[in-house]
Amino acid sequence: MDRTECSLLIYGATLAGLGAAAAALEAKRDVVVVERTSLVGREFIEAFNPGGEWGKPATDFGQSVRSDWIKRNLMEENGPVHLPGLHPVLCLLIKQYGLKVRFLTEIVGVAERDGRYEVLLHDASGCRPLLVEEILDTSTERLTVPGGLATPESKRLNAYLHHPDLRNAAVPAPFDDSMSVCGGRFPSEVILKVNVAPGADWLQARQRLHQFWQARPAEWASWTIAAVAGTFDSTVPGGPQRLGERWSWLPSEAFANPLSAIDQGYGSYAGTEGIRDAAKAGK
């Protein structure tokens, strides 16, 4: 990365992060998005979490996104969204807006310097500093604070389920309080959600999921796990929360669904009130 400074650094190529980046770019701000993985929208897509509470977007941008998703048959009028089809659409949005996204890049340190922040980024080329005026963290874990990562209030490990006759099979009722089942855009999308301990690591969570499913009752015997999510489905507090002057945390996963996240992310930087003002006001 040759550049050494920018106006706004957004951490996380999340739904909220991409929405905020689009709005900030429209406002003629110099924006860089940093993402630790090679994925976009993973807080919903890779977590196998279609979300809920689908309502109408608050911004024109959100309404346009909603219309596009409906046109592409990714969702119906009232949701939910078809998660596997969402990734390429978000990649297209990045291309259309010309968003500067740095994938496979970590933040390893943040320090104040002459009224700005010096952010130390690490990628395959090594460590490089980037001077920024403002930081927006949209990650679930609050990754812009390497020594103070956030623990979710609760979290789940989700999995797509398969049945030999999905068209005609009725989904049985949950057999345990620690599980729930939801559907995606199409009838074949049946998603199991199993609660795991907030502090559980990946190995512990997968063991918990498989042991839980092995003990399922007879009415669930014909249902099998087709795919396990690649990240946790977490419950985190809503934002924005102030981490410092011109440094805020707006976890994308706190929003009810992917559409709400990209809509509210855009709204946080659209108009005259930026995210820093909302954080100052304690909104």
In this structure, the answer to whether residues 30 and 128 fall within a common structural domain is yes
Structurally, the chain folds into a number of domains equal to: 2
Q: Per-residue pLDDT tens for 72-86?
A: 999 998 889 999 999
Sign of CA dihedral 205, 208, 214, 216: negative
Q: Per-residue pLDDT tens for 99-152?
A: 999 999 999 999 999 899 999 999 999 999 999 999 999 999 999 998 889 999
In this structure, the answer to whether residues 121 and 48 fall within a common structural domain is yes
What is the extent of the structural domain holding 270?
5-150+236-281
In this structure, the answer to whether residues 179 and 242 fall within a common structural domain is no
In this structure, the answer to whether residues 134 and 217 fall within a common structural domain is no
DSSP letter string, 17-34: HHHHHHHHHHTT--EEEE
In this structure, the answer to whether residues 121 and 160 fall within a common structural domain is no
Q: Which pLDDT band, with edges at 50, 70 and 90, does 211 fall under?
A: very high
Q: How far apart are CA 278 and CA 283, in angstroms?
A: 5
Q: Per-residue pLDDT tens for 159-188?
A: 999 999 988 889 999 999 999 999 999 989
Q: How far apart are CA 275 and CA 258, in angstroms?
A: 19
In this structure, the answer to whether residues 76 and 21 fall within a common structural domain is yes
In this structure, the answer to whether residues 98 and 116 fall within a common structural domain is yes
In this structure, the answer to whether residues 10 and 44 fall within a common structural domain is yes
| One-letter amino acid for residue 243 of the chain | L
Beta strand 126-137 pairing with 116-123 = antiparallel
Q: How far apart are CA 40 and CA 102, in angstroms?
A: 11
